[in-house]
Chain A
């Protein structure tokens, strides 16, 4: 395992001398009930090797049969991405050996993808970038290996591996961009925005959970540098193991800096696959391949061509949700957000979360406040995505509702948030367990105010004299006494009442 010291050129300098070109390959694991080519359940988790049959195990004699729903989802994804839908296409075998692939070939599509030549308009810090798409095609997922005996659980250094084929055969749609050029310093942001917004689109279509942390949305990042203004494309590297939107951005940035270091030194970029490490923020080289992999593609002889009728395609077009640009405009109008507020929401990958929080009863302003404020801050601290915090829109709406009712104040609400992040349960459960409810018992409040007045005669005197601002000290004392579980506004009222 090599970690040779790579020279990283400062980011700004990279752009002085080079133009980056990006390519993104995103795999979406569909949420169909069954696998791509057999009737086994396509569910996540479960005991190993319980969702397998002769076909997805690749037993001798087994044969594939195409899942209609997967084809439908592929077409809908293609239409939502403005692609042309093939009138006739086939599956092809991609031949290579790997223990998590039961047939030692993957049934995929080669030169006849079901969707091709599309685009997605991506919002990047207020600017619209059109990302051109090469294709979207259908293929099947592999099994999952657990590496045993090594120190790290990683593949290198393991003694042996245990393979579970539950995941083998689950439908995947692979979406490939054309090279994205002319984005300069925005390359990392464009990559991130593309993946995040593609995710939103996939979720809106209802075809996948599309969660990077669960592996049902996977991104491989390709990057190359060319001399600035040359109009050429450089040698690219592919980076895998990029498991969050943040990693996408960081990996692009890192590779740009690394490529520049190599090229500046007069060396050539090795065309290879690299592995991203989120913890150290670097890429490392994959194993040197002595034989360039020749996949020996040929049309899958056990399957017949897929020829979606134009009627079927139009029928599916009718089931598409509104396109992202239209949707954003509509939501912005509905929510009354400013352009900046909307841009920030989209940029944070919070659009869907805000929408769901509003649907659960919160006001748009409140939803935005939580997701882009406190929750975004927490996510940033831990390096997670806001969608991966374990806090749901329903939770957020409930917390806000409790605040609106006066049952919580902002400070208490933040403590409830701590509880949510720690997985202690629902907001109501946390309030009860931690005893966080605002005390609304007037008697108790009154007694506490009296006590504070008695303990601070000088302050009380000032207030009686009309210096209302001094009330703050008394309010603070009462809040401290009540362990924060009081409505500060009501306390202030009581203080002023009693001292008027």
Chain B
């Protein structure tokens, strides 16, 4: 498995991550990222198939809350950081995608 990233691959990842990288950044980042990737690729084959993955340092399970209402933010607090708002809602530029 190749552990380097081409400029095109970086551009594709930037689209997935919604960052408009400039050409200069693409030129600059791709080699840096390749170096990092090469180094992290060193873990290939270190763990056998039967080693379980850890997603948590401590083995907690079944942490729940009861279905009881707790105080909310006021609409003013909720909207306090909004770059734009209208009718007590967050105003966002036109959405191109489909309804989800």
Check whether chain A touches chain B (CB < 8 angstroms). Answer: yes
The interface residues of chain A, by DSSP majority, are classed as loop
* Contact between B73 and A155, CB atoms less than 8 A apart: no
* Contact between B61 and A88, CB atoms less than 8 A apart: yes
Give Cα A68 to B95, complex, Å: 35
Q: Which of A69, A240, A286 contacts B67 (CB 8 A)?
A: A69
Q: What interface size band does chain A fall in?
A: 35 or more
Is A421 located at the chain interface by the 8 A CB criterion? no
- A32 cross-chain contacts in B, Cβ below 8 A: 67
* Contact between B61 and A65, CB atoms less than 8 A apart: no
Taken residue by residue from 147 to 180, chain A's Cβ proximity to chain B (1 for < 8 Å, 0 otherwise) reads as 1010000010011111111000000000000000
Most chain A Cβ neighbours within 10 Å, of B71, B72, B75? B72
Taken residue by residue from 1 to 17, chain B's Cβ proximity to chain A (1 for < 8 Å, 0 otherwise) reads as 00000000000100110
Is B62 located at the chain interface by the 8 A CB criterion? yes
Nearest opposing residue in chain A for B56, CB measure: A304
Taken residue by residue from 247 to 287, chain A's Cβ proximity to chain B (1 for < 8 Å, 0 otherwise) reads as 00000000000000000000000000101000000000011
- Distance (Å) between the CB of B17 and the closest chain A CB? 9
List A36-77 residues whose CB lies under 8 Å from chain B: 38-41, 47-54, 57, 65-71
Give Cα A50 to B15, complex, Å: 34
* Contact between A68 and B65, CB atoms less than 8 A apart: yes
List B24-50 residues whose CB lies under 8 Å from chain A: none
Give Cα A387 to B43, complex, Å: 59
- Distance (Å) between the CB of A270 and the closest chain B CB? 15
* Contact between B56 and A40, CB atoms less than 8 A apart: no
Most chain B Cβ neighbours within 10 Å, of A48, A146, A291? A48
* Contact between A304 and B61, CB atoms less than 8 A apart: yes
Q: Which of B70, B71, B72, B99 contacts A155 (CB 8 A)?
A: B99
- Distance (Å) between the CB of A201 and the closest chain B CB? 22
Is B78 located at the chain interface by the 8 A CB criterion? yes
Knowing A162-B87, A164-B89 touch, does A99 contact B95 (C-beta < 8 A)? yes
Give Cα A101 to B90, complex, Å: 12
Taken residue by residue from 276 to 303, chain A's Cβ proximity to chain B (1 for < 8 Å, 0 otherwise) reads as 0000000000110001001010010101
Q: Which of A40, A100, A158, A240 contacts B94 (CB 8 A)?
A: A158
**5 more A-B residue pairs beyond the given contacts A66-B65, A160-B92, with a C-beta to C-beta distance below 8 A:** A53-B72, A67-B65, A101-B100, A294-B16, A299-B55
- Chain B contact residues, CB within 8 Å of chain A: 12, 15-16, 18, 55-56, 60-75, 78-79, 86-100
14 sample A-B contacts, Cβ–Cβ < 8 Å, listed by A number = A33-B69, A39-B65, A39-B69, A66-B65, A68-B66, A68-B67, A155-B98, A160-B91, A160-B93, A240-B99, A287-B97, A291-B15, A304-B62, A306-B62
